[in-house]
Amino acid sequence: MAKMNSRARKKTVTTTLKPPQKNKLKTVRTRRSAHALSDTYYQILAVAEEEFANAGYNGTSLEVIARRTGIRKASLFHHFTSKRKIFDAVVRRIFDQLVSIGRETARIEDPREHLLAIVGRLHDFIASHPNHARLLMHRVLEDPASVRSSAEVFIKPLVAEMAQLVVRGAQLGLIHDGDAPVTMTLIALAMPILAYSFAPVVEACTGIEVFSPDAIAAIRIQVMHRVEALLS
């Protein structure tokens, strides 16, 4: 009877210990899989951003994106159902970052300084991401209808906020009292973007490397000087 009870206890202990081991191993696999998927997703976006900036939407190949990411083309469709979905995700990420610039400067009370801070941060963002200005320019030329719809969602709120700053600054006598605050705002936003979207042309004509530290510093001074003149 003692031997039977001893065997029963061993059997009970063995049965009790097995399920936690299986659950633990299963949890580890799930976490690793999710982490790997997240890494691949962002690798695809990084590679796609560079390809779209260099070749535009029509000139970009899914095969090249997959090869440079280190996966098969078929694996792309586990993350994105089409090239359009990849492109939209790349552009949306850029727009999300652009919108955050307005939030970063929200505490500046002086409307003139607030506007200058927004343009300065926009310049720094574009200058530190060489692909962004070219990619946005490609999109404007290739797909204006899509740009219009995206601008309604992402860019228009920032433009409206800046236009209100122009109006308030004019009321306080800090900014030139113009008749078209939205136009003034769009010109101010375009200055840093255009300076870098035409980088290949500038480099070909001047031999200056636009994204070198010295050139970026010089462009920033010129952009801010011109925006100040626009507001004066």
> For residue 105, what pLDDT band results from cuts at 50, 70 and 90?
confident
Average pLDDT of the chain, as a whole number: 80
For the chain, how many residues are written?
232
pLDDT above 80 (res 43) = yes
What are the domain boundaries of the chain? 2-76, 88-231
pLDDT above 90 (res 19) = no
DSSP structural state of residue 109: -
pLDDT value of residue 214: 93
CATH 1.10.10.60 fits 2-76, yes or no: yes
Fold for the domain defined by 88-231: Tetracycline Repressor; domain 2 (1.10.357)
pLDDT above 60 (res 28) = no
> For residue 39, what pLDDT band results from cuts at 50, 70 and 90?
confident
DSSP string, 52-106: HHHHTTTT--HHHHHHHHTS-HHHHTTT-SSHHHHHHHHHHHHHHHHHHHHHHTT
pLDDT in tens, 131-147: 888 887 777 777 777 77
